[in-house]
Chains A and B, each alone.
Chain A
């Protein structure tokens, strides 16, 4: 089956028509989506029209772009002109964005074609994709009674069950890497500022980052090459030169220094997860990577810090959903303030309300110093840990999640239990470092286990090289789940 790079090469080399590539992508989605519930919308007519247009341009001899004819899907919190952008929320159930996010515009300018939007936890708040108010929970293709992880669960499930598409996701505390881990795919959260956030519905602006969920590190590199770079519309995007990530992969991993921290094998980690990740570290060692012990002593404070900072920023960012400018408005209100308060309470789901409330609380008079400001100070300590570790090593290797995919419904009634799942992914967002999750084996139940690699800010190429090296020596990423579209 064709991957992203092969599709691009075939379309550019006129061996495959863009229309055939798109038709095949839509066939794959339709084939698996009854079982998975991963796509919130599919754009067959629009996508085929764009593909026909691309084929005509190729026939005329025009340059079709570095991702010519590659189908892509977009997490539903990223704005697209085509279809709706709901963020999985009732409050945006009928919202149509008037513009494309920069990431969507860049993929389209590169010749890629949007075929679907993918399901997610409302506003990215969740780790299981059970909190979608629009189409309900997404299923894990390895075991459909289990969650795919979240919040980019729709993207992760489709990435595992199909081939040859780019799946855009977003990651505020692990929302790309954790579902990638649970679905046995490769998920990259680039460095903060590496990819523009313009057009991403903001959850926590100092933590949010767009990335992708793919079959392997090579596909992540191909997509990042097009997505990365300064964007005038996002002043937090970095003016750092964009390497040729695909070429960087070929530099190999020999001599790279990788750190292993005991804090990333916490109490409560499933023994099979720890075991497979340690085997993965041995694999890296066998490839000539130098493995050293490092310490990140403030890791245990990362999750509480994340809960406070992300909540505070969410309470501010989600103030824009007011029943006035776009989205849901209540039928019955008395006056403007009542209109806001009723529209919001009726439009937001329970988890979103919890986070807004906690966030407002920690920013409110009398509590700001004890909670929000304290959390920002602890974030500084967490960043210091990484800076110190990265003076000794080029990357840090750890599990992505202390657990594997769990049954749908198991944790949904206890939000704190669900927050605990993020313990190994939130540090990357707090510290602005890039992180990638890749499959490193399975449990006896045949549920995927993810190995995570962290790198220095803007050294995304280093973790892609390590992931690519690992995937050259292992076959976990090639295993197909029981729910999988047929080869074309």
Chain B
């Protein structure tokens, strides 16, 4: 298959990597080498083989529903690049100019310091089974 700049940039966007022009060139050439490296196994007929995705047979391992201590909030926030002591602080993601710079502390907790789980709408799609 042909590796194009568009493919590399598409994958970089999915990977959340803001790669430079020189990195795009380098990665394009790397993709080509990797495709050559793995070409050997394209010849293998695997139509009747079940894929082996996991390394253990266990599935849905549950623990007993017993309360136990979890990581204290202060410890969880200790290594964060920006926090207000309660939340991780990220750039504004709802209700405002999404292009504005990141607040460095929770000036307006309700809006500026969104929870980190929230993510702006994005239509990227990862493939999958």
On A, residues with C-beta under 8 Å from B are: 94-96, 98-99, 192-193, 206-207, 232, 235-236, 238, 300-301, 303-305, 307-308, 315, 319, 322-329, 333-342, 344-345, 348, 350, 353-354, 356-358, 360-361, 363-368, 371, 373-381, 383, 415-416, 419, 432
- Chain A: minimal CB distance from B82 (Å): 7
On B, residues with C-beta under 8 Å from A are: 7-8, 10-20, 23, 26-27, 30-31, 33-34, 37-38, 40-42, 44, 46, 49-56, 58, 61, 63, 71, 75-76, 78-82, 88, 90-93, 98-102, 114, 116, 119-120, 122, 125-129
B76 close to A98 (CB less than 8 A): yes
B37 close to A324 (CB less than 8 A): no
B19 close to A345 (CB less than 8 A): yes
Which residue from A336, A354, A363, A415 sits with its C-beta under 8 Å from B90?
A: A336
**Given A301-B41, A416-B33, A342-B18 contact (CB < 8 Å):** yes
Which A residues are CB-close (under 8 A) to B91?
333-336, 339
A356 close to B58 (CB less than 8 A): no
User: Given the complex of chains A and B, what is the CA–CA distance between A232 and B68 in angstroms?
Assistant: 13
User: Given the complex of chains A and B, what is the CA–CA distance between A81 and B26 in angstroms?
Assistant: 38
User: Given the complex of chains A and B, what is the CA–CA distance between A224 and B34 in angstroms?
Assistant: 36
Q: Is the interface of B mostly helix, strand, loop or mixed?
A: loop
The 10 closest A-B pairs by CB, nearest first: A376-B51, A329-B81, A365-B127, A326-B79, A235-B61, A304-B38, A341-B18, A377-B46, A380-B52, A98-B75
Which A residues are CB-close (under 8 A) to B128?
363, 368
Which residue from B53, B58, B120 sits with its C-beta under 8 Å from A376?
A: B53
Which B residues are CB-close (under 8 A) to A358?
30-31, 34
11 pairs of residues in contact across A and B, judged by CB atoms under 8 Å? A96-B78, A207-B55, A301-B41, A304-B38, A335-B120, A350-B26, A353-B17, A356-B17, A365-B126, A374-B41, A374-B46
User: Given the complex of chains A and B, what is the CA–CA distance between A378 and B23 in angstroms?
Assistant: 31
Which A residues are CB-close (under 8 A) to B119?
336
B127 close to A324 (CB less than 8 A): no
A360 close to B11 (CB less than 8 A): yes
- Chain A: minimal CB distance from B95 (Å): 13
Which A residues are CB-close (under 8 A) to B99?
334-335
Which residue from B80, B81, B98, B126 sits with its C-beta under 8 Å from A335?
A: B98
Which B residues are CB-close (under 8 A) to A324?
80-81, 88, 90, 116
Which residue from B11, B33, B56, B98 sits with its C-beta under 8 Å from A361?
A: B11
Additional 8 contacts, C-beta under 8 A, given A301-B41, A368-B127: A98-B79, A235-B61, A329-B81, A334-B101, A339-B90, A357-B12, A367-B127, A374-B42
Which residue from B51, B71, B88, B114 sits with its C-beta under 8 Å from A380?
A: B51
- Chain B: minimal CB distance from A351 (Å): 10
B37 close to A416 (CB less than 8 A): yes
A328 close to B17 (CB less than 8 A): no
B41 close to A378 (CB less than 8 A): yes
B17 close to A383 (CB less than 8 A): no
Which B residues are CB-close (under 8 A) to A301?
40-41, 44
B122 close to A337 (CB less than 8 A): yes
CB-nearest residue of chain A to B89: A324
User: Given the complex of chains A and B, what is the CA–CA distance between A192 and B116 in angstroms?
Assistant: 33
B34 close to A416 (CB less than 8 A): yes
Which B residues are CB-close (under 8 A) to A368?
127-129
Which residue from B11, B81, B120 sits with its C-beta under 8 Å from A328?
A: B81
User: Given the complex of chains A and B, what is the CA–CA distance between A301 and B20 in angstroms?
Assistant: 33
User: Given the complex of chains A and B, what is the CA–CA distance between A148 and B26 in angstroms?
Assistant: 27
A325 close to B127 (CB less than 8 A): no
User: Given the complex of chains A and B, what is the CA–CA distance between A23 and B8 in angstroms?
Assistant: 52
- Chain B: minimal CB distance from A226 (Å): 22
B50 close to A377 (CB less than 8 A): yes
Which one of B16, B44, B71, B81 has the highest number of Cβ atoms from chain A below 10 Å of its Cβ?
B16
B49 close to A380 (CB less than 8 A): yes
B55 close to A381 (CB less than 8 A): no
Which A residues are CB-close (under 8 A) to B11?
357, 360-361, 364
Which A residues are CB-close (under 8 A) to B129?
368, 373
Which A residues are CB-close (under 8 A) to B98?
335-336
- Chain B: minimal CB distance from A309 (Å): 9
